[in-house]
């Protein structure tokens, strides 16, 4: 069994006529060699285990780096899609009622009931269908300003000249601004360079020179030309 450090410190060799007992010295040397060999082998084994752990750690770090890169790419792509949708604006689709034709089957009705319903539908006058222009008027002004022919300086506020400032600066060609409010006040420079739409339609009465404009859901008003 290998000697411990404490046992080595307490070793006392036996004396013989010619000095230390050779057999005793040989036994101690053999024990020292055995202990040192075991320690050396254990050291080599530990080094191999450390190298294996380092290789596993490196592979784990590479996997985490790839995963983080993929997550970042997904986040950037999502942000880009949201930005593009915000720039394009939302398309509003008005739902229209679908009239049932005389040949449309209805589950649960008999043939006689179908015929009676068809005759009733056929007798409905075209005057009973409300015209499209009777739709409820908008309650908010949806204003879209797009610079198409050159720069245009803009100051946009809520309600009046002293209202909350929404935008102030020069709108460069190709850029678009969108606002949704009950009432907007604008001061416009070079308005002829703008394409203006209100509630999805071209704005009527927009000035052609520097002016202050009040925008409501019903249209443009209080235009003071500069």
Task: With respect to residue 103, please indicate whether it lies within any of the assigned structural domains.
Answer: no
- Which residue, 72, 88, 104, sits at the end of a domain? 88
Of 142, 159, 157, the residue nearest 198 (C-alpha): 142
At residue 195, the pLDDT reads 94
137 near 218, Cβ under 8 Å?
Answer: yes
At residue 32, the pLDDT reads 75
Q: How far is CA 159 from CA 195, 196, 204, in A?
A: 22, 18, 19
Task: With respect to residue 30, please indicate whether it lies within any of the assigned structural domains.
Answer: yes
Task: With respect to residue 114, please indicate whether it lies within any of the assigned structural domains.
Answer: no
Task: With respect to residue 27, please indicate whether it lies within any of the assigned structural domains.
Answer: yes
63 and 146 both lie in a single domain = no
Q: Tokens representing 154?
A: 């803009």
At residue 94, the pLDDT reads 38
At residue 2, the pLDDT reads 60
- Which residue, 54, 88, 122, sits at the end of a domain? 88
- Calpha distance 2→35 (Å, rounded): 5
Task: With respect to residue 101, please indicate whether it lies within any of the assigned structural domains.
Answer: no
Of 144, 131, 158, the residue nearest 92 (C-alpha): 144
Task: With respect to residue 185, please indicate whether it lies within any of the assigned structural domains.
Answer: yes
The series of mean pLDDT values per 10 residues for the chain, 226 residues long, is: 62 66 74 79 89 91 88 91 75 42 44 54 47 65 94 94 94 94 92 93 88 91 61
At residue 106, the pLDDT reads 43
At residue 176, the pLDDT reads 95
At residue 98, the pLDDT reads 43
At residue 20, the pLDDT reads 65
Of 153, 218, 151, 135, the residue nearest 184 (C-alpha): 218
Task: With respect to residue 193, please indicate whether it lies within any of the assigned structural domains.
Answer: yes
- Which residue, 66, 88, 110, sits at the end of a domain? 88
pTM over 0.75: no
How many domains does the chain contain in total?
Answer: 2
Structural domain containing residue 47: 1-88
At residue 196, the pLDDT reads 94
146 and 80 both lie in a single domain = no
Task: With respect to residue 33, please indicate whether it lies within any of the assigned structural domains.
Answer: yes
At residue 88, the pLDDT reads 66
């Amino acid at each position: 069994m290998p000697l411990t450090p404490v046992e080595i410190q307490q070793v006392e060799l036996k004396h013989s006529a010619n000095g230390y007992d050779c057999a005793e010295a040989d036994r101690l040397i053999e024990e020292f060699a055995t202990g040192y060999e075991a320690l050396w082998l254990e050291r080599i084994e530990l080094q191999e285990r450390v190298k294996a752990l380092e290789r596993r750690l490196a592979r784990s770090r590479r996997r985490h780096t790839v995963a983080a890169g993929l997550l970042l790419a997904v986040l950037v792509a999502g942000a880009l899609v949201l930005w593009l949708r915000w720039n394009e604006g939302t398309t509003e689709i008005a739902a229209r009622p679908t009239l049932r034709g005389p040949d449309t089957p209805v589950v649960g009705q008999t043939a006689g009931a179908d015929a009676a319903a068809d005759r009733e539908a056929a007798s409905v006058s075209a005057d009973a269908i409300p015209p499209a222009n009777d739709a409820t008027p908008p309650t908010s002004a949806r204003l879209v300003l797009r610079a198409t022919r050159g720069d245009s300086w803009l100051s946009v506020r809520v309600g009046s000249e002293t209202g909350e400032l929404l935008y102030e600066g020069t709108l460069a060609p190709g850029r678009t601004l969108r606002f949704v409010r009950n009432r907007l006040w604008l001061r416009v420079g070079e308005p002829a360079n703008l394409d203006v739409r209100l509630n999805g339609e071209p704005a009527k009465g927009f000035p052609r020179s520097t002016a202050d404009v009040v925008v409501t859901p019903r249209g443009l008003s209080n235009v003071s030309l500069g």
